[in-house]
């Protein structure tokens, strides 16, 4: 069990490492900075989801390129707990690492390992494939295995942090994850059955890693 200050330390370390690795091109900005773009995209998404999806502008953190966009004017962000900030950023940075370097996470690297951060970025076709896979592979909805794969890697970070902080995972976590995978939130990226299987498999894997003391933070 960890206090919020500990998560503040993890958060700072995570961000420092990520900025180094991404050659200080990583930016965090509120969506209100590019209002017309996010409002337009938000509107289009509402149309595609028949008005069901939550607002992309107000409710979601989104990565495009190396910018992590905060919902709305970012007003809630500063007031959030360190734990919350950590869970959000570890998820988003996971996407960044996967897109730009093709590996899933810098926190899996042992704390004592000296890492050469000047390693080469993935080739352009990998980044193209990542985005194509996220949006369309092999289908944009229900059987969106590409998006499922990328998002479950991100949500694994959320599961890990919750388990580490609380020592257990409640039903609420499963319900939350199910909503992400089987609802309009991510354009129905999985069928209900597939969503349940995917989430259970990931939860089991995280519990195993937790029991073996293999989880790393910060
Ligand atoms: Zn994500």
User: Could you report the per-residue pLDDT of 178-212, keeping only the tens digit for each?
Assistant: 999 999 888 899 999 999 999 999 999 999 999 99
CA of 61 to the centre of ligand 1 (A): 8
Name the residue ranges covered by the structural domains of the chain: 4-211
CA of residue 6 to ligand 1 center, whole Å: 24
User: What distance in angstroms lies between residue 119's CA and the mean position of ligand 1's atoms?
Assistant: 24
In the block, tokens 């499963």 appear at 174
pLDDT digits (tens, 9 = 90+) for 40-50: 999 998 888 88
Q: How far apart are the C-alpha atoms of 59 and 31, rounded to whole Å? A: 11
Peptide bond connecting 138 to the previous residue in cis, omega within 30 degrees of 0: yes
- Residue 147 C-alpha to ligand 1 middle, in angstroms? 9
Per-residue pLDDT of the chain (218 residues; tens, 9 = 90+): 568 999 999 999 999 988 988 988 999 999 999 999 999 999 998 888 888 877 889 889 999 999 999 999 999 998 999 999 999 999 999 999 999 988 765 545 544 454 555 667 888 999 999 999 999 999 898 899 999 999 999 999 999 999 999 999 989 999 999 999 999 888 899 999 999 999 999 999 999 999 998 888 87
Ligand 1 geometric centre to CA of 39 (Å): 20
């Amino acid at each position: 069990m960890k206090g919020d200050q500990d998560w503040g330390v993890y958060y700072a370390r995570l961000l420092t490492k990520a900025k180094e690795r991404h050659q200080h091109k990583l930016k965090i900005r509120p969506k209100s900075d590019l209002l017309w773009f996010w409002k337009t995209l938000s509107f289009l998404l509402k149309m595609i989801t028949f008005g069901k999806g939550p607002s992309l502008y107000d409710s979601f953190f989104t990565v495009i390129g190396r910018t992590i966009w905060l919902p709305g004017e970012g007003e809630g962000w500063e007031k959030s707990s360190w734990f919350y900030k950590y869970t959000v950023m570890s998820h988003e940075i996971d996407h960044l690492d996967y897109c730009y370097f093709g590996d899933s996470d810098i926190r899996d690297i042992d704390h004592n390992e000296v890492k050469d951060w000047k390693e080469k970025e993935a080739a352009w076709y990998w980044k193209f494939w990542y985005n194509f896979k996220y949006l369309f592979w092999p289908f944009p909805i229900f059987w969106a295995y590409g998006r499922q794969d990328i998002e479950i890697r991100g949500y694994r970070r959320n599961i890990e942090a919750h388990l580490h902080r609380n020592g257990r995972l409640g039903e609420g976590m499963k319900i939350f994850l199910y909503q992400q995978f089987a609802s309009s939130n991510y354009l129905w990226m999985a069928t209900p059955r597939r969503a349940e299987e995917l989430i259970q498999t990931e939860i089991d894997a995280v519990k195993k890693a937790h029991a073996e003391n293999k989880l790393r933070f910060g």
